[in-house]
């Protein structure tokens, strides 16, 4: 659109520039890692609250 390559081609070009992941790295993108651990923490805390309400009421 408007002289730009299609989205898929731009995505492929970015992936080529980035290259392969180094062994041992799971999250190449820091915000993705933060969101993953934040979401995991929210799930754990809500489960703990739900279990405490179940056992201590």
> Can you give the pLDDT at residue 37?
95
What are φ and ψ of residue 38, in 5° steps?
-65, -45
Output the CA angle 47-28-18, nearest 5 degrees: 155
18 domain-assigned: yes
Query: Six-digit token pair at 9?
Result: 């081609």
1 domain-assigned: no
More confident residue, 16 or 2: 16
24 domain-assigned: yes
2 domain-assigned: no
How many domains would you assign to the chain? 1
> Can you give the pLDDT at residue 1?
59
- Tens of pLDDT along 5-51? 999 999 999 989 988 877 877 777 889 889 999 999 999 999 999 99
pTM of the model: 0.55
What are φ and ψ of residue 56, in 5° steps?
-110, 25
48 domain-assigned: yes
- List the domain range (segments joined by +) for residue 48: 7-55
> Can you give the pLDDT at residue 39?
98
47 domain-assigned: yes
3-state DSSP of 1-57: CCCCCCHHHHHHHHHHHHCCCCCCCCCCCHHHHHHHHHHHHHHHHHHHHHHHHHHCC
């Amino acid at each position: 659109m408007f002289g730009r390559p299609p989205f898929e081609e731009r995505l492929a070009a970015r992936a080529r520039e980035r290259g392969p992941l180094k062994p041992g790295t799971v999250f190449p993108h820091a915000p993705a890692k933060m969101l993953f651990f934040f979401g995991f923490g929210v799930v754990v805390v809500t489960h703990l609250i739900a279990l405490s309400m179940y056992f201590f009421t």
